[in-house]
Amino acid sequence: MKKDKIIIGIHGLGNKPPAILLEEWWRLAITEGLTEITGYPKFDFEMVYWADILNDRPLDPDETDSDSDYFIKEKYIPASNIHAQSQEDSMIQKISDKFNDLIFNKKLHENFPSVTDWVIKNFFSELDIYLNGKPFLDETSELAAKDVIKNRLETILKQHKNKKILLIAHSMGSIIAFDVLSENKSGITINTFVTIGSPLGVPFIIEKIKNTKTGKLKTPDSITNAWFNFADPDDKLAVNYELEKIFEPNKKGIRPQGQPVKNNYEMNGDPNPHKSFGYLRTPELAFAINQFMQPEKGKLEKWIREKVNYIKTLFGKK
């Protein structure tokens, strides 16, 4: 295992299982994808867990009552255990499509900012808490949830500042990561940024995070090598995967590289193209991780020279 490299993950919105279990499930999903292209993979991984900041307790893996708020409805299961996908009722699907056309309408959010606030407040309560600087858990707290959450990510990035970092951010986690990397208060750099199921291209998110002076979005300068954005076309929260059309390049000329992928996650016959586990085992993400894990060309050549010279000394050659 390369101790000088680490994969860091940050999850999305919604309550989650306990931190240790969620980290293990992410690790298993990543391993599942890497196994398909590299055999038996080895990597160092750490999860940035922030669900506890907005929830009183985590989802319970031992809860059997499906009506309980703490029942885990979507657990990690290997792709090999997935069977034929169910089909939604056509009428329900039509209603869902019409609703999505409304809340993801670009011109509507550009021309009517109040609609943006209404959508976020009524359909994405956790995002509302984060974006609008509300306190976490209760109204008596003096700390804004946004600052506490960002601090979680920043702290872990600082702990690994001397390593080469690949940061995987899912869903709302990509907004948090974008904020931290853009502000970059600690001068931290990451080698590779990977966003999965990211809403950074969704109109009501763009209106909230764009530069108020320029009206544009810029790739954080703290990204030094690449930014990959993977999205399933059926994932409504990642409907615009071509973030390169929205984000300007950073000082190194880096901007997002969008690519459609197939998220094959489902639970009990119900597909969820937004689920993190399905994204984490896609071959596209596996190839990005494998590329990140490869030795640097210069270091590899130096290592080979050193080994050759050492072998020569064993045989009395110069």
Residue 90 lies in a domain: no
Residue 120 lies in a domain: no
Quickly state the pLDDT bin for 194 (edges 50, 70, 90).
Answer: very high
Residue 191 lies in a domain: yes
Predicted confidence (pLDDT) per residue in 162-193, tens digit: 999 999 999 999 999 999 999 988 889 999 99
pLDDT in the model for residue 128: 79
pLDDT for residue 84 is more than 50: no
Residue in this structure with the two tokens 């609008």, named with its chain if needed: 132
What angle in degrees, to the nearest 10, is found between the helix axes of 172-183 and 145-159?
A: 70
Instruction: Taking residues 251-264, report their average pLDDT.
Output: 96
pLDDT for residue 146 is more than 60: yes
Beta bridge partners of 248: 218
Q: Which domain holds residue 211?
A: 5-85+148-314
Token reading at 217: 């979005």
Residue 219 lies in a domain: yes
What size, in residues, is the chain? 318
197 touches 274 (CB < 8 A): yes
pLDDT in the model for residue 30: 97
Q: How many domains does the chain have?
A: 1
pLDDT in the model for residue 6: 97
pLDDT in the model for residue 81: 75
Encode burial over 164-177: b for 16+ CB neighbours within 10 A, e otherwise: bbbbbbbbbbbbbb
pLDDT in the model for residue 70: 97
Residue 73: C-alpha distances to residues 63, 81, 229, 278 (Å): 10, 16, 26, 15
256 touches 219 (CB < 8 A): yes
CATH code of 15's domain: 3.40.50.1820
Residue 105 lies in a domain: no
Residue 132 lies in a domain: no
Predicted confidence (pLDDT) per residue in 23-42, tens digit: 999 999 999 999 999 877 88
What percent of the chain is modeled with pLDDT above 70? 75
pLDDT in the model for residue 292: 95
If you average pLDDT over each of 132-136, 166-170, 302-306, which comes out highest?
A: 166-170
Mapped to the 3 state alphabet, what secondary structure does the chain carry? CCCCEEEEEECCCCCCCCHHHHHHHHHHHHHHHHHHHHCCCCCCEEEECCHHHHCCCCCECCCCCCCCCCECCCCCCCHHHCCCCCCCCHHHHHHHHHHHHHHCCHHHHHHCHHHHHHHHHHHCHHHHHHHCCCECCCCCCCCEHHHHHHHHHHHHHHHCCCCEEEEEEECHHHHHHHHHHHHCCCCCCEEEEEEECCCCCCHHHHHHHCCCCCCCEECCCCEEEEEEEEECCCCHHHCCCCHHHCEECCCCCCCEEEEECCCCCEECCEECCCCHHHHHCCHHHHHHHHHHHCCCHHHHHHHHHHHHHHHHHHCCCC
Predicted confidence (pLDDT) per residue in 90-126, tens digit: 433 433 444 455 445 455 444 444 544 545 555 567 7
Predicted confidence (pLDDT) per residue in 199-228, tens digit: 999 887 887 787 777 778 999 999 999 999
What percent of the chain is modeled with pLDDT above 90? 58
Residue 128 lies in a domain: no
How far is it, in rounded angstroms, from Cα 219 to Cα 197? 18
Residue 65 lies in a domain: yes
Backbone φ, ψ for residue 10 (5° rounding): -130, 125
Instruction: Taking residues 256-280, report their average pLDDT.
Output: 95
Lowest pLDDT segment from 64-73, 250-259, 291-300, 306-315: 306-315
Strands, sheet with 164-170, edge to edge from the N-terminal-most edge strand: 45-48, 5-10, 164-170, 190-196, 223-231, 256-260
